[in-house]
Amino acid sequence: MILNKIIIGTRGSLLAVAQAEKVKDMLTEKYKELRKKGIIINGFEDIESINIELKTIVTSGDKDLRDFKKIKGDSQKNLFVKEIEKEMINKTIDFAVHSLKDMPQITPNGLENVCFPLREDNRDVLISKNGKKLEDLLENSRIGTGSTRREAELRTLLNERKDIIIKGIRGNIHTRIRKLHDGEYDAIILAAAGLKRTGLEKNITEYFDENYFMPAPGQGILCIQCRNDDKKIKNLLKIIDNKEVRIMCEAEREFSKIFNGGCHTPIGCSSKIEGENIIIKGVYNYDKKRVFKEIIGNKNDAVKLSQKLAEKIKEEI
């Protein structure tokens, strides 16, 4: 027996669709693997194979919002998810695939963030038109970024390069790369994860070390959300959930929450699990000052460690 269609909701950008397709493939392959081993998922006892389809949904964040930067914190992030969450609540989709860094801290009633698959490279990268690294960019080069965090980190790295012009940029990955090649910019800053998921990593000129250019909290992590009363779908999604990624998610989200992190809050956070320990790094930029701290401890205490890390940073702000 084949289960009636399971519908994934996603934004319509090439990156969002690629991410949803990745989740679809992971679920399909893992399900087949478990069935071959005789492992049955609760609610799927008579289901030999699953049929998954994608539904693209236009969100407010996909539109040209001139006042985008005026919106703060979770209200800003809601722009990328609220229409998708509404369809989930209305049961027109079964679950949704989001980029974790786009997710608000507060989840709507009736929904739950249930699955965090393997994490992609969380670093930021430079793509330059002439193949030059950041320190070698020509005089008066224009660098495009739409992120306050990236702009602050850039200014620290550039230090005495007062000639470099940092310009705002909007649009999806392909739009930004096109603007670069059209001559609007000499270089742009993007997330490695998005480039790798869309097969565009060949464009990368330079990877930034997180110690000097901290990624956004949750960067590179996918968040899968569904209705909290849909036990069948929750059981299915558990088969691709990654416990270590979940811990990193909780740690970095806690750090972001403490600083009311939105797309335009100048904070960064990254975490890595080594054995039983987790290493969490955080940065806060203000008034041309960069405060960087890190903390290490048992991974089961990830949230408390993030709180301590934030406290250490606040002491110097």
Residue labelled with tokens 């392909």: 174
Listed residue (9, 239, 226, 235) closest to 112, CA to CA: 226
Alpha-carbon gap, residue 143 to 184, rounded angstroms: 9
Q: What are phi and psi of 293, to 5 degrees?
A: -140, 160
Alpha-carbon gap, residue 230 to 235, rounded angstroms: 9
Amino acid identity of residue 276, one-letter, is E
Residues catalogued as catalytic: 102
- Helix crossing, 173-181 with 14-36: angle to 10°? 140
- Helix crossing, 302-314 with 243-258: angle to 10°? 30
Q: In this structure, are residues 50 and 27 in contact, taking their beta carbons and an 8 Å threshold?
A: yes
Alpha-carbon gap, residue 110 to 122, rounded angstroms: 30
Residue labelled with tokens 């691709």: 240
Cα of 199 vs its chain's centroid, Å? 17
Listed residue (216, 162, 211, 163) closest to 189, CA to CA: 216
Listed residue (80, 96, 86, 113) closest to 228, CA to CA: 113
Q: In this structure, are residues 87 and 239 in contact, taking their beta carbons and an 8 Å threshold?
A: no
Q: In this structure, are residues 302 and 251 in contact, taking their beta carbons and an 8 Å threshold?
A: yes
Q: In this structure, are residues 249 and 278 in contact, taking their beta carbons and an 8 Å threshold?
A: no
Q: In this structure, are residues 281 and 210 in contact, taking their beta carbons and an 8 Å threshold?
A: yes
